[in-house]
């Protein structure tokens, strides 16, 4: 199997906006295959009578096709940067592409915007190629009109297929953002959309087998559909496994450093100096690692603005209670249940000496690096 592992190796082809762009060796096989199929269609339809010329047109069309896939992924990366998410790389593989991020988005809104950017880019590209097809048709350039139609159809299908509601497809991420927005924990939403992804993958595999069995001319289409289904199934299975492993971590392995507010500080200083720096709805009240309570933004809304400068944090905080903290050795799965039931959706993390050392909030759970 060493040769298969070799084919999965990636090579760096360049940087776009300082983002590394990589392809794996399997891409070259797919490129040659798709270029040959396109050339065969051009030659058999007698649009081009020279086989070499047909292959050159096929190769050029395939390059534009993969450029479209790259723009789809770059749209994800561009949106991610706008939302403050670092982009590690863009990878083109035989079944499409992937934009990899350093961490998950911080909010459902950011998740939605990043997810929808790719299909939106593909829809726009489909419209561009439709316009090019119309222009080529008006000029009676049959070859260009045919190829533009193919590229328009491909980008349209790419956008539609990616909107299927199963992770890791973009539609799965849109659904995940919706569930997250409705209050579902991010990991629970990921598990659900991952299961939908497996259902979609199995459906593709069954559909591909049916094409092979009942269509003598659709063997390649059926075979390719099965491969895409297997790829999606493996990706969905991988994300489900990753989330399940995450659930068995201790809170110490997933906690964030706490952003604390001193109990004797006034509300005005908090609003002016602390709140603008952190996208949180829950803040821990502590001094010298002693946990005193929880400050909720929804509680501050009840306080008149003119009282901010003369009101201490300790007067508006919720005093510490057993359901507001766990020890570092607690399991993350147990902490999630407590966060769901304690009314604040967050927890302080204390060590064996009773010192505040960490923070957890629903929807923002990730393993510490």
Domains: count for the chain: 2
At residue 368 the predicted structure's pLDDT band, cuts being 50, 70 and 90, is low
pLDDT for 369 equals 54
Do residue 134 and residue 83 come from a single domain? yes
* Domain edge (last residue) among 247, 263, 283: 247
Do residue 204 and residue 90 come from a single domain? yes
Do residue 243 and residue 289 come from a single domain? no
- Residue 349 sits at φ, ψ, to 5 deg, of -115, 125
Let me know if residue 138 belongs to a domain.
yes
pLDDT for 31 equals 84
Q: How far apart are CA 58 and CA 40, in angstroms?
A: 8
Do residue 268 and residue 307 come from a single domain? yes
pLDDT for 12 equals 86
Do residue 277 and residue 291 come from a single domain? yes
Let me know if residue 369 belongs to a domain.
no
Let me know if residue 302 belongs to a domain.
yes
Do residue 126 and residue 266 come from a single domain? no
Mean pLDDT computed over 62-77 = 93
At residue 335 the predicted structure's pLDDT band, cuts being 50, 70 and 90, is confident
pLDDT for 283 equals 92
Do residue 172 and residue 26 come from a single domain? yes
Do residue 95 and residue 39 come from a single domain? yes
Do residue 205 and residue 298 come from a single domain? no
Let me know if residue 23 belongs to a domain.
yes
Residue 225, pLDDT > 70, answer: yes
Which CATH number characterizes residue 280's domain? 3.10.580.10
Do residue 294 and residue 220 come from a single domain? no
* Domain edge (last residue) among 247, 275, 290: 247
14 to 23, 97, 279, 299, 348: CA distances (angstroms)? 10, 15, 34, 51, 44
Sheet strands side by side (includes 290-296): 260-261, 282-287, 290-296, 318-319
Alpha helices in the chain (DSSP H): 2-7, 26-44, 51-82, 108-138, 142-162, 170-181, 186-214, 219-247, 267-269, 297-300, 313-316, 332-341
Burial class (CB in 10 A: 0-12, 13-18, 19+), 46: exposed
Q: Which helix (H) or strand (E) holds 97?
A: strand 96-101
Q: Which of 19-33, 164-178, 244-258 has the highest mean pLDDT?
A: 164-178
Do residue 168 and residue 275 come from a single domain? no
Expressed as residue numbers, the domain containing 288 is 251-361
* Domain edge (last residue) among 230, 247, 264: 247
**What predicted TM-score, i.e. pTM, was given to this entire model?**
0.74
Let me know if residue 368 belongs to a domain.
no
pLDDT for 4 equals 45
Do residue 153 and residue 191 come from a single domain? yes
Let me know if residue 367 belongs to a domain.
no
Cβ atoms of 105 and 83 within 8 Å: the answer is yes
The helix/strand/coil state of 94 is: coil
Let me know if residue 366 belongs to a domain.
no
Q: What is the dihedral of CA 138, 144, 150, 154, to 10 degrees?
A: -100
- Residue 71 sits at φ, ψ, to 5 deg, of -65, -35
Let me know if residue 148 belongs to a domain.
yes
The helix/strand/coil state of 339 is: helix
């Amino acid at each position: 199997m060493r040769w298969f592992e070799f084919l999965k190796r990636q090579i760096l082809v360049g940087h776009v906006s300082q983002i590394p762009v990589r392809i794996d060796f399997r891409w070259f096989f797919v490129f040659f295959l798709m270029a040959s199929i396109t050339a065969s269609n051009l030659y058999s339809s007698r649009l081009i009578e020279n086989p070499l010329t047909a292959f050159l047109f096929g190769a050029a069309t395939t390059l534009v096709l993969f450029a479209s896939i790259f723009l789809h992924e770059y749209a994800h990366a561009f949106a991610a940067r706008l939302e403050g998410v670092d982009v590690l790389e863009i990878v083109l593989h035989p079944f499409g592409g992937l934009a990899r991020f350093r961490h998950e988005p911080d909010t459902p809104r950011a998740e939605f915007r990043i997810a929808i950017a790719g299909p939106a880019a593909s829809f726009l590209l489909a419209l561009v190629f439709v316009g090019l097809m119309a222009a080529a048709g008006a000029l009676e350039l049959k070859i260009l009109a045919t190829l533009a139609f193919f590229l328009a159809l491909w980008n349209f299908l790419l956008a539609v297929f990616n909107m299927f509601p199963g992770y890791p497809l973009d539609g799965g991420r849109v659904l995940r953002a919706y569930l997250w927005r409705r209050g579902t924990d991010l990991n629970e939403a990921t598990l659900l959309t991952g299961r939908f992804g497996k259902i979609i993958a199995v459906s593709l595999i069954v559909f591909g087998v049916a094409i092979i069995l009942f269509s003598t001319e659709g063997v390649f289409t059926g075979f390719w559909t099965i491969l895409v289904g297997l790829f999606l199934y493996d990706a969905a299975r991988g994300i489900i496994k990753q989330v399940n492993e995450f659930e068995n971590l201790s809170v110490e392995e997933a906690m964030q450093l706490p952003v604390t507010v001193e109990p004797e500080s006034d509300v005005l200083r908090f609003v002016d100096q602390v709140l603008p720096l952190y996208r949180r709805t829950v803040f821990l009240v502590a001094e010298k690692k002693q946990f005193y309570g929880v400050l909720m933004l929804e509680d501050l809304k009840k306080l008149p603005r003119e009282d901010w400068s003369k009101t201490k944090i300790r007067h508006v905080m919720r005093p510490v209670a057993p359901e507001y903290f766990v020890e570092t050795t607690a399991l993350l799965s147990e902490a999630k249940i407590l966060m769901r039931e304690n009314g604040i959706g967050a927890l302080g993390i204390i060590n064996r000496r009773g010192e505040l050392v960490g923070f957890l909030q629903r929807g923002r759970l990730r393993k510490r690096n």
